[in-house]
Amino acid sequence: MRKRALLLLLVLSLSGVSCSAGAQKPAISGALESESMRRESFEATLRILDEHPEYVDEFFAAARRHPRTLDRFMKNAASELERDQFARLVAKRLTESPRGLRQVLIATLDEASDEPAALQAISQAMAERPQLAAIVVVQSDASLRRTLRALLLEVLKNPEARRSFLAGLAENSDSLAQVIAPNPDVLRALVAAWVKVKLSKGEKEVAALLKALE
């Protein structure tokens, strides 16, 4: 099988020595119409690429100039990501390229923003790795403060999320107290904000508490 496929590749390459890619297309297309020949030629090509990784770089560069093929390839790859082993291979390569990882995460969040199923998938992933999700958020002052602000805004406009958020606060009241108690300025700001909210609802009896905090 390997010899037959290599022979096909040799014939195709020789036939195109003095021809442009456009001129070679009919010959190659005809040769690949056979399913068995196509399968064998693909396998032989992949074995050669395994032996010469530098060829893969050239092949990828060429594939980028063919958006339909590249899109189909990426679609198949996305489906294959359901398999843990393949997903971890892709994740490993992404983490080796932080700039690419950052960009693909931004693009993923943008694409998922109006796709409920995609948002749910991201939410489930965070729920399965809550500690790691928290570690990500606390990596910088900007991510922590901006995420907290955005979270509170979402909680305010989503009744179901508000119930879950309040339940979470109650479940973690000890930890919350340990974070806030040593910081009187934060505690004072929280109580003052609470009083203002109460006053806006007409509960004048808390005015004395606000005055005492000044």
Residue with the bigger pLDDT between 35 and 105: it is: 105
- pLDDT of residue 31 exceeding 70, the answer is no
pLDDT band at 28 (very low <50, low <70, confident <90, very high): low
CA distance 66 to 86: 24
> What does the pLDDT look like over 38-54, one tens digit per residue?
888 888 889 999 999 99
Domain extents in the chain: 1-65, 130-171, 181-214
Q: The whole model's pTM is what?
A: 0.77
> What's the confidence (pLDDT) of residue 207?
57
Q: Is the pLDDT of residue 132 over 70?
A: yes
Please provide the DSSP assignment of 7-50 as one string.
HHHHHHHHHTTTS-HHHHHHHHHHHTTSHHHHHHHHHHHHHHHH
Round to whole Å and give the CA distance between 172 and 168.
6
